[in-house]
Structure 1
Amino acid sequence: MSTQAPIYKLTPRSAWLEAEVAGRFDGAPVDLADGYIHFSTGEQVRETAAKHFTNEDALLLVAVDPGALGDALRWEPSRGGALFPHLYAPLSLDAVLYVQDIPLSEGGTHLFPESIR
């Protein structure tokens, strides 16, 4: 495992269950349309959830070791010019550090662990 901070993929539980059966994650429909798998840093993931997964109640947070992704991982400008990690290959499950449910609060926002920064 690398010493780099993890990057995160938010995905509906159903899509992740399919990835576990297949042995790899090819991406959500938006990823397939864009030609790469969208990830966020710990600092970006809450905003990503609010922008793209409002009221998604079966959301998973997939933590990934960026050092295990090799040259297929690129950091590219996105929202407001911030650099976001994009993976130009299927995600090997070997690179996954952990998968965690991200529940909704009563107000409809996602509740992330305090350790995600």
Structure 2
Amino acid sequence: MSRIYHLAEPDDWRAAQETGSYETSTRGRSLADEGFIHASTEHQWPQVRRRFYADVADPLLLLEIDPDRLTSQLIREPVAEAGGEVFPHIYGPLNTDAVLAVHEVEPPHAG
């Protein structure tokens, strides 16, 4: 199965590494708030970066996730706000050992 991606703020990822479990759904929303963790495909994450994190001046982290290693259920669902485009959603905590790589993503205006 193809890898999926999640944009994370560095503090949230650091906290997850201490506990082994990541529970931030998206910017300013927890798993408890949203019911799932937002994720993207390889071609979707840049548009998520532009749409929801455009005003973030600091680098973000792009978590590269192996869906086969997830301990929570992954469901691919259409998102009305994205014109019905299908996005992967993780219904439960993201176990940190499912994250294969972490890439730093600079703000669009950096450099």
TM-score range, shorter chain: 0.7 to 0.9
Contact 1:60 1:102 in 2 (8 A): yes
> How do 1:70-81 and structure 2 match up within 5 A?
72-78=73-79, 79-81=82-84
User: Size of the alignment, in residue pairs?
Assistant: 105
**Structure with more strand by fraction:** 2
Gaps of 5+ in 1: 112-117
| RMSD of aligned residue pairs (Cα, Å) | 1.8
Measured in 2, the distance between the counterparts of 1:26 and 1:8 equals 15
**Equivalent residue runs for 1:98-117 within 5 Å:** 98-105=101-108, 107=109
- TM-score, with structure 2 as normaliser: 0.85
Of residues 22, 25, 31, the one that matches 2:22 is 25
The gaps in structure 2 that reach 5 residues or longer are none
Distance 1:98 1:75 in 2: 21
- 2:7 aligns with 10
Q: Which residue of structure 2 aligns with residue 60 of structure 1?
A: 61
Contact 1:31/1:38 (8 A) holds in 2: no
Change (3 A) 1:76 1:35: same
CA distance in 2, matches of 1:23, 1:17: 10
Matches of 1:24 and 1:65 in 2, distance apart? 15
Pick closer, same or farther for the CA change 1:13–1:71 going to 2, 3 Å.
closer
1:48 alignment counterpart: 48
- Percent identity, please: 34
Which stretch shifts more, 16-25 or 50-59? 50-59
CA distance in 1, matches of 2:34, 2:71: 20
Moved more, 45-54 or 24-33: 24-33
Aligned partners of 2:4 and 2:39 also within 8 Å: yes
> Could you tell me whether the CA contact under 8 Å between 2:71 and 2:94 is conserved in 1?
no
Report the alpha carbon displacement of residue 71 of structure 1 after superposing the two structures with TM: 6.4
